[in-house]
């Protein structure tokens, strides 16, 4: 049965908010673990979605991409991290950045298990839970793969800066002010979808086979 636009938004609402909230909170928690209290002091290490929601990136844009089809896309308010306050800034940056995509992988596993065991629930519950689980798998795989792209300020860009030697890391990090513009251009030209879709399918297939 084809869902209406309103039904799609209802199905995706909880998985999207949950995925983005946990992703951002994970960055803040790991930053605190490695010595930076910026996110903690700002009250951003929390599962309260209101602390992380960006009106356009978390609400409007995901709703538009659901209505128009294609890659589900959006963002939350970035958790503030002062990398200079980390005990070993260049090394610890990797773990802070990786925490977000790692949290999305864990949530994707959760939704795969929810989809698997929804079949044992009563029919009235099984169908909506299955739809929500499929949405949860999709959004978390999109966020994980998207954020691992090696483009600052995405998490993959910060991981690359952490791994590169200083002589390469410094010029690479200077891309960051333009990274968001590059990402939007890639999105609206269809290039981003062409890059992400095969990777999302690959990871989704591996996850399904493992579980």
Task: Let me know if 123 is exposed, middle or buried by CB neighbors in 10 A (0-12, 13-18, 19+).
Answer: exposed
Q: Which of 2, 24, 134, 176 is catalytic?
A: 24
24 noted as active-site residue: yes
8 Å CB contact between 183 and 154: yes
8 Å CB contact between 89 and 35: no
Using N-to-C axis directions, what is the helix angle for 61-68 and 5-33, rounded to 10°? 140
State how far the Cα of 100 lies from the Cα of 26, in Å rounded to an integer. Answer: 6
Task: Let me know if 28 is exposed, middle or buried by CB neighbors in 10 A (0-12, 13-18, 19+).
Answer: buried
Task: Let me know if 105 is exposed, middle or buried by CB neighbors in 10 A (0-12, 13-18, 19+).
Answer: middle
Q: What is the number of alpha carbons within 13 Å of residue 71 lying toward its C-beta? A: 27
Residue burial 184-206, b: 16+ Cβ < 10 Å; e: rest: eebbeeeebeeebeebbeebbee
State how far the Cα of 97 lies from the Cα of 89, in Å rounded to an integer. Answer: 12
Give catalytic residue positions. Answer: 24
């Amino acid at each position: 049965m084809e869902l209406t636009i309103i039904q799609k938004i209802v199905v995706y609402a909880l998985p999207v908010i949950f995925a983005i909230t946990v992703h951002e909170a994970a960055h803040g928690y790991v930053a605190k673990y490695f010595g930076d209290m910026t996110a903690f002091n700002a009250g951003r290490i929390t599962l309260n979605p209101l602390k992380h929601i960006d009106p356009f990136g978390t609400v409007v844009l995901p709703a538009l991409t659901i209505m128009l089809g294609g890659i589900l896309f959006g963002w939350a308010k970035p958790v503030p991290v002062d990398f200079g306050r980390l005990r070993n800034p260049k090394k610890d940056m990797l773990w802070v950045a990786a925490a977000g995509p790692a949290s999305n992988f864990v949530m994707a596993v959760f939704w795969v298990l929810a989809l698997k065991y929804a079949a044992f629930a009563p029919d009235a519950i099984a169908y909506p839970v299955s739809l929500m689980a499929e949405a949860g798998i999709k959004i978390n795989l999109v966020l994980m793969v998207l954020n691992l792209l090696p483009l600052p300020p995405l998490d993959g860009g910060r991981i690359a800066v952490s791994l590169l030697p200083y002589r390469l890391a410094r010029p690479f990090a200077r891309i960051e002010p333009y990274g968001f513009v590059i990402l939007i251009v890639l999105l609206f030209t269809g290039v981003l979808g062409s890059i992400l879709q095969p990777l999302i399918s690959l990871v989704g297939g591996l996850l399904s086979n493992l579980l």
